[in-house]
């Protein structure tokens, strides 16, 4: 219980300081583009999830020591994705942005003013803290005249859809997969790991399959809506070892279907990649 309290306090401290869960240089969040306007009614909202995702395993490994550290500030120099990790994240975001622009959507981006969604607070059960932080995020959107938000990952999309449970949230939220046109596949045969949030809570499972123009190998017991299971990533802040075991089991079952895996979530990517017997790609890397 004390560990969870410390984790809550550390997250709240960082979110209050710079609206990010970690003490990171926000330049890593914005480096993927300089072409989009800084204001507009419709924004692409990254919540820095693709950019930060490589840091989550590092963050989770240090959690047992948080009670002693009391802060993540001493780790700030270590909390930086590698150049390769950032380039991959940037490539995914550029593909999504370019596909949206190709549909005639006039996108803006908040750059350094883009806040984190607060998804970690929600998923760890810190609901009072989530409510207070979500109000601050909403205020920032309203101050900048945002009326429509296009999300790019399931955790952010889910967090925003939950805002209205706590206060009046009048900003439209739509996921990029609902708007883009997909290109023909690359000729490879893939299997797929669904985001639990997209599949079970956000009703986007069929939309992803509709847009994926590649050959998919599926097994109802492995990739079925009600029979597949989590990558293990969201469990890591509570029990890192259990998370790793879940990830290994999930990767093993998927590896039996194909040596090429599609994922829809940056957390799923960093969680499954070390254990999957083949190549893991984000859906956006293949269909856009």
pLDDT for 230-249, tens place per residue? 999 998 888 889 999 999 99
Of the pLDDT bands very low, low, confident and very high (cuts 50, 70, 90), residue 6 is confident
Would you call 62 exposed, middle or buried from its count of C-beta atoms within 10 A (0-12, 13-18, 19+)?
A: middle
Q: What is the pLDDT of residue 186?
A: 87
What average pLDDT does this structure show over 170-182?
A: 97
CB 47 within 8 A of CB 116: yes
d(CA 256, CA 173): 36
pLDDT higher than 90, residue 99: yes
Share of the chain above pLDDT 90, in %: 80
The residue that leads in pLDDT, 62 or 110, is 110
CA distances from 122 to 17, 117, 256 (A): 19, 10, 34
What average pLDDT does this structure show over 199-215?
A: 95
Characterize 8-20 residue by residue with b for buried, 16 or more Cβ atoms within 10 angstroms of its Cβ, and e for exposed. bebbbebbeeebb
CA atoms within 13 A on the CB side of 232: 22
Of the pLDDT bands very low, low, confident and very high (cuts 50, 70, 90), residue 64 is low
pLDDT higher than 60, residue 133: yes
pLDDT higher than 70, residue 209: yes
What is the residue whose two structure tokens read 């856009």?
Answer: 288
What average pLDDT does this structure show over 158-169?
A: 98
What average pLDDT does this structure show over 271-286?
A: 97
Query: What is the three-class DSSP state of 242?
Result: helix
Helices (H), the chain: 2-18, 27-30, 49-52, 56-62, 66-69, 83-102, 119-123, 127-143, 154-163, 196, 205-211, 220-223, 240-255, 266-272, 283-287
Tell me how far apart the terminal alpha carbons of the chain are, to the nearest angstrom. 44
Which range among 23-32, 107-116, 161-170 shows the weakest confidence by mean pLDDT? 23-32
Share of the chain above pLDDT 70, in %: 93
Cα–Cα nearest to 72, from 82, 89, 58, 53:
58
Q: What is the pLDDT of residue 1?
A: 44
What is the residue whose two structure tokens read 């802060």?
Answer: 71
Query: What is the three-class DSSP state of 262?
Result: strand
pLDDT higher than 90, residue 174: yes
pLDDT tens, residue by residue, 181-198: 999 888 999 999 999 999
What average pLDDT does this structure show over 92-121?
A: 98
Give the other-Cβ count within 10 Å of 153's Cβ: 30
Structure-token pair, residue 10: 């550390």
What does DSSP assign to residue 78?
Answer: T
User: Domain boundaries in the chain?
Assistant: 2-178, 189-287
d(CA 9, CA 3): 10
The residue that leads in pLDDT, 1 or 158, is 158
CB 173 within 8 A of CB 154: no
Average pLDDT, rounded, for the chain: 92
What does DSSP assign to residue 282?
Answer: E
Q: H or E segment at 86? A: helix 83-102
CA atoms within 13 A on the CB side of 24: 27
pLDDT higher than 90, residue 58: no
Q: H or E segment at 268? A: helix 266-272
d(CA 38, CA 260): 37
Structure-token pair, residue 249: 């089991």
pLDDT higher than 80, residue 61: no
What is the residue whose two structure tokens read 């206060």?
Answer: 167
């Amino acid at each position: 219980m004390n560990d969870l309290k410390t984790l809550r306090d550390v997250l709240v401290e960082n979110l209050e300081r710079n609206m990010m869960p970690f003490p990171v240089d926000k330049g890593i969040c914005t480096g993927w583009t300089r072409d989009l306007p800084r204001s507009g009614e419709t924004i692409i909202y990254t919540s820095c999830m693709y950019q930060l995702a490589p840091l989550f395993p590092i963050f989770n490994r240090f959690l047992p020591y948080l009670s002693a550290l009391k802060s993540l500030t001493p780790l700030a120099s270590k909390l930086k994705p590698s150049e390769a990790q950032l380039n991959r994240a940037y490539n995914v975001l550029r593909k999504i942005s370019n596909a949206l622009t190709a549909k005639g959507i006039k996108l803006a981006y908040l750059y350094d003013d883009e806040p984190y969604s607060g998804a970690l607070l929600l998923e760890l059960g810190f609901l009072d803290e989530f409510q207070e932080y979500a109000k601050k995020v909403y205020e920032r959107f309203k101050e900048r005249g945002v009326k429509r938000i296009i999300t790019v990952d399931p955790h952010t999309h889910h967090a925003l859809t939950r805002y209205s449970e706590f206060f009046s949230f009048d900003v439209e939220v739509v996921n990029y997969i609902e708007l883009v046109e997909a290109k023909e596949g690359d000729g490879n045969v893939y299997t797929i790991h669904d985001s639990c949030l997209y599949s079970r809570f956000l009703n986007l499972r069929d939309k992803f399959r509709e847009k994926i123009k590649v050959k998919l190998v599926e097994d109802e017991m492995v990739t079925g809506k009600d029979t597949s299971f989590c990558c293990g990533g969201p469990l890591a802040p509570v029990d890192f070892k259990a998370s790793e075991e879940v990830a290994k089991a999930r990767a093993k079952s998927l590896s039996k279907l194909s040596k090429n895996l599609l994922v829809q979530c940056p957390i799923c990517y960093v969680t499954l990649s070390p254990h999957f017997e083949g190549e893991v790609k984000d859906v956006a890397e293949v269909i856009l």
